[in-house]
Every structure is written in structure tokens, then in C-alpha cells.
Structure 1
Amino acid sequence: MSSTILHGSGLTEEDAQAAEAHSPALAEAAAEEKNPFLVALGERVRALRSRRGMTRKAVALAAEVSERHLANLEYGVGNASILVLLQVAQALQCTLAELTGDVTTASPEWLLLRELLEGRDEATLHRVRVAVGELLGTGGAAAKPSGRSPRIALVGLRGAGKSTLGQMLADDLGVAFVELSREIEKFAGCSINEIQSLYGQNAYRRYERRALEEAIQIHAEAVIATPGGIVSDPATFNLLLAHCTTVWLQAEPEDHMKRVVAQGDLRPMAASKEAMEDLKGILAGRAAFYSKADFKIDTSAQTLEGTFMQLRQTVRAALRLDGGP
């Protein structure tokens, strides 16, 4: 028996009739244009239910929601709460991410990979990430016998000393120094503040990615001072980790704030009355990503000269350069 698609709704005539049996509101919505996200969500619920071989009644019973509520959800006319979606996901024996369309649930291979990696510790996941990068040719094979990339990238919050120490290290190694923030401004033709206020955070991240790609392409050897938020975009941070030897310049929040104030720069806390709490929150949110760097140096524990000597020794040892310990 053929099915007639109702104009603008994506529902077959049979679907609309079934919807009407559950709720008059569904019948009215059948002929209306619905939110694409809700439609896609409903399609995933139906697909998962079919994959599990469960009737709508069985899913509704297991999820402890009414069958009418589930019908609304499946036909894309029900804006369910997070708790209801969680109950439906549990009834369908899937994750909330799979229900809402996370990319890692888009195919059987993705799901099988997730299952293999689920529950693994950080060290194992790190080895897998590196191995996958090598397999896909995105590992940024180093041009040195040490196996370390001769591009040195300094990561950390503003006020960690990336610019000052980066320039000192570049001079010592005799390589180019790249201030990635300045390169971003060159791409955009305006300041970072203007990029974010005029075009938004997403545009800024695109410029950041382009600036890093160009720095990697142009400089086989360099010291790169990165913006503090470079860890916010996983793709950009993956690129950095794959093609650079990374050093996290760590500092206590109070030292970060003191140095930022000395620079006359309070972004992004300019309008905040609780700048220190904001800074601590940002640091806490990024620390797990910064810790993926190859090396970590505490810049609060010593003088600028002492920190530079530790950085110099660390990098020279990593690259097996003459003069290293």
C-alpha cells in the first residue's frame, strides 16, 4: 500500500491518521512545518525503537511516560524535557547522546568504537589517540631523531608568561617566534576584541584554526605562543598536539591575575566584579586539556630567569639539542 506524504510535514497519510488517534493536536501539527531538530529527534526515537523491536506501548511503559507523550515525541511535535528524554533513552537502552544525534552515534562503526573505548583510563585513551593519528597520517611526524616536533607550542592561561618566555626561547634556539594572537588579527584585519564583538566566538575560533594551520605550514621550526582558549576547540587543539611539542606554562590563579593586570588586559573579565572567581573557573575548566601537553612548567614557583632556564633545559633535552642536559 502506497503512502501519501502530507505537504510540509514529512508525515505519511497513515502516520497522520495514527497521530490523530492519539491526539487532536498531532493531527493539526501534521500539516504544519515543524522544528527540524524535533523532527530528527523523533525519527531517531522511531529508528531506535524499531532496532530494538519494541512497540511504542512497550517503550512508553518502560520509560514511564504516556503513549500519547511518546507519540508526540516520535512525530516531532513534542518538546520533551531532558528528564523525559533520559527516561526514553534508558527504555531504549541507549545513551542520551545517541538519542539526540551525537556524531559518534551516527553509524555502527562509531558505536562499536565508542564501546571499545568506554571505561578506558586516560593513559590508554592517550595511546589510542596517538595511534589513530599515526594511522590516519595526522600525527605530524617530527623531523628530528628525538621523535619530538621542533615546533614548540606554549599553552596556558593569559599571564602564564607565554609571550615573554616564548620570545626568549626562540632567541635561544635561533628560530622564529610566532604570537598566534597577532596572526589571528592579521587574518581578520581587526583586533581580537573586535572579532569577538562583531563576528562572535565561532568566527574567532575559525581564524584561530587558520592562523595555526598557516604557522605549521610555514615554520618547520618555531616557538609558538598560543591563546589561552585554544583548547576550547578540540579540532584545533588536536592539530596543535599533533604538530608541535607542547609545554603547559602553569601558574597559580593569583599570579595569572597579577600579570594580566600588569599588562592592562582584563579580557574576558572586564565587566566582572568577581574577576578572580571567573579566572579560577576558567582555569579549572581548561586544566584537564592543558595537562595533555608534553611537558608542564610551574611559572609561579620561581623567577623569570629560573623559569626560562627550566624551559630551555626541558626543550633542549626533548629535542636532543647540543647544550641540553
Structure 2
Amino acid sequence: MTPHSDAPRDDGQSAAETDFLDRLGQRVRRMRGLAGMSRKVLAEVSGISERYIAQLESGKGNVSIVLLRRIANAINAPLDDIIPGGEPSPDWPVIRDLLKKASASQIAEVKELLASGASAPLRRSFSGIALIGLRGAGKSTLGRMLAERIGWSFVELNKEIERQNGLSVAEIIALYGQEGFRRLEQAALLALLARNELMVLATGGGIVSEPVTFDLILNAFYTIWLKAEPEEHMARVRGQGDLRPMADDRSAMAELRNILASREPLYARANAVVDTAGLSVDAAAVRLGEAVKPIIANEARMFARG
């Protein structure tokens, strides 16, 4: 006779509870990776022991809602994103975050629009090409080469944030935390979009973790995911002398793989993927150039019509 799935085990925990804890652990690990944090960094920021976080991620943690809330705050994620449930549409986090900032009149307009079944185009005007991907993907190097070749402006979003605020990214994060940095990142992006000029934009690796900001990118730019093998990302980052946020972490490679795995579904929302694995800089630049040819040709046609 097959036991019921909710029957308690010898330790008093039902199969359903075990499954929940496993999924909770996977969700915490994925959200941590999305935020680009190692266990060590998360432990420091949340004040929770690294051992407890490891147990939680393996599905063996003695779960406390208070500690989960501290983890959610540390990675700047809503608590309901961590607790397992139905997988919502990729657009849901954007809608949720926009609703939080909306006025009563704006919410009323949205409700009326949805109730009427009417559709309204909300896409922004075309702003150019945006490159996304992990650190070490070549966004700055290849982006600058592409911009020079096609005659568009080249902008590194992180440097634009630093210019607008008079502080380095590290200083901004130290002063205001990840949440404060993401606010300034969004403000810098909106300022760039207000220029109404074509550009090649190199984004930070974690921009996909902020739903509204990433949605702005997807709507205003032809977005390309520069993809490489984890070992190549790590080698390039080491070559730059930059291991944020995994400095002095002996398990840095495992953490990088977790970050990549967590962000891949979001990176995959890009319009195109350019795999630079095993390529020289010049060969990768050629491959990127091929990927944007239709976009450049389309812009040339639009200019001719105007």
C-alpha cells in the first residue's frame, strides 16, 4: 500500500513539507545568485550565519519567517519572491513594482484599461543597442568597438551612475546599499533615455535583478546577451583585478556558476544572444557586428524616410 504523500516521516516531517523546504532552499539560492551575492556576503549583510544559509539552501534549515525576512531584505527582494508558490509571468514583478509607486488615479486608469480590454502601446522610442551579461562578458570592450564602428555614442551605465552622483559604485553601495544603488541605476538610465539619441549601452551584470529597470532596457533597446563560459568570465574578471562581490571566497567559482544559473532566464529575454566562448576580442567583435546588422540597416532605412 502506497503511503499518502503527506504522511509524516520518521522525523515527523511530511513529504509535502520536505518538498516545500527543498523548493524554498532552491529559491533562496536562486535569489541570492540573482543579487550576485556569495553566501559569505549574504551572511555579513543579513547577520545570519553562513552555516544556517547553507542549511537553508540545502532544504534542511529550521525555517523562521523572521530570518527569511532578513534574507529578503539583504538581497533586496520581496519576501513573496522567496517563498515557493506558483511561477508568475515574467512581467508580474514589473507590474507589482510599478503598482507600488503608482498614485490612486494611475491605478484607477490601469483598472479601467484592463477591464475594458483595450490595448495601448507603451513602448518607448528606440534608443539603440544594450549589452547585458555577467562581468567579464566583454560588454565594455565590445560595446566601445561597436559604437566606434557604427558611429553611435557609447555609454557604460555604471560610469554614468558614478558621474551623476560623484561617487564610485563601491562607495554608493557602501553608503546606500544595493537598494540605493538600484534606485540610482534606474535614475541614470531614465536620464540617458531622455537624451533621445542612439547609443550602445553597456549595463552592469546585475541590472536584470531590478524588474522595472530591466523592463526599461528591454523596451527601449535592442538587447544582446553577451554569453561566455563561467571559466572565461572568472578569468576575465581576475584579469581586471576585480572579484566583487566574491573577494577572498574560496568557492568563488561555484558562486559564479550559481549567479549565472540564476540570471540566465532573465538574460535569455534579450533579443539576441552572442556567444563569445573561445573567441578572441576581434572575432567576438565580428560576431557582435553580424548580430546587429539588421538593426543598423533598419535605422538607416528609417533615417532615409525621414
Within-5 A mapping of 1:288-299? 288-299=265-276
Within-5 A mapping of 1:151-166? 151-166=128-143
Q: Does 1:315 align with 2:292?
A: yes
Counterparts in 2 of 1:103 and 1:245: CA distance versus 1, 3 Å: closer
Q: Which amino acid aligns with 1:179?
A: E
Give the length in aligned residue pairs: 201
Equivalence for 1:182: 159
Deviations 1:177-233 (A, max 9, x none): 001000111222211111111111110000100111111111420000000000010
Q: Is the 8 A contact 2:274 2:291 kept in 1?
A: no
Q: Which amino acid aligns with 1:294?
A: N
Within-5 A mapping of 1:238-317? 238-317=215-294
In percent, how many aligned pairs have the same letter? 42
Counterparts in 2 of 1:151 and 1:322: CA distance versus 1, 3 Å: closer
User: SS of the residue aligned with 2:194?
Assistant: helix
Aligned equivalents of 1:215 and 1:271: distance in 2? Answer: 35
Q: How far is 1:136 from its partner?
A: 4.3
Counterparts in 2 of 1:237 and 1:159: CA distance versus 1, 3 Å: same
Aligned equivalents of 1:272 and 1:253: distance in 2? Answer: 16
Within-5 A mapping of 1:46-61? none
Q: Does 1:197 align with 2:174?
A: yes
Aligned equivalents of 1:220 and 1:322: distance in 2? Answer: 12
Q: Which amino acid aligns with 1:138?
A: L
Structure 1: gaps (5+ residues): 1-78, 83-94, 114-131, 142-148
Aligned equivalents of 2:282 and 2:253: distance in 1? Answer: 27
Counterparts in 2 of 1:265 and 1:175: CA distance versus 1, 3 Å: same
Q: How far is 1:322 from its partner?
A: 9.5
Aligned equivalents of 2:147 and 2:196: distance in 1? Answer: 12
Q: Which amino acid aligns with 2:159?
A: R
Within-5 A mapping of 1:1-325? 135-141=119-125, 149=126, 151-320=128-297
Q: Which amino acid aligns with 1:235?
A: V
Aligned equivalents of 2:67 and 2:299: distance in 1? Answer: 62
Counterparts in 2 of 1:322 and 1:151: CA distance versus 1, 3 Å: closer
Q: Is the 8 A contact 2:157 2:188 kept in 1?
A: yes
User: SS of the residue aligned with 2:155?
Assistant: strand
User: SS of the residue aligned with 1:154?
Assistant: strand
Q: Is the 8 A contact 1:269 1:275 kept in 2?
A: yes
Counterparts in 2 of 1:272 and 1:218: CA distance versus 1, 3 Å: same
Q: How far is 1:301 from its partner?
A: 3.7
Q: Is the 8 A contact 1:150 1:319 kept in 2?
A: no
Query: What RMSD, in angstroms, separates the aligned Cα atoms of the two structures?
Result: 3.4
Misfit runs of 4+, over 4 Å:
79-82, 102-107
With the length of structure 1 as denominator, give the TM-score of the two structures. Answer: 0.56
Q: How far is 1:252 from its partner?
A: 0.5
Counterparts in 2 of 1:159 and 1:96: CA distance versus 1, 3 Å: closer
Aligned equivalents of 2:181 and 2:165: distance in 1? Answer: 9
Aligned equivalents of 1:205 and 1:303: distance in 2? Answer: 32
User: SS of the residue aligned with 2:215?
Assistant: helix
Structure 2: gaps (5+ residues): 1-64, 69-84, 88-94, 101-106, 301-306
Aligned equivalents of 1:316 and 1:292: distance in 2? Answer: 20
Aligned equivalents of 1:168 and 1:320: distance in 2? Answer: 18
Q: Which amino acid aligns with 2:285?
A: F
Aligned equivalents of 2:196 and 2:257: distance in 1? Answer: 34
With the length of structure 2 as denominator, give the TM-score of the two structures. Answer: 0.59
Q: Which amino acid aligns with 1:312?
A: G
Aligned equivalents of 1:221 and 1:96: distance in 2? Answer: 39
User: SS of the residue aligned with 1:199?
Assistant: helix
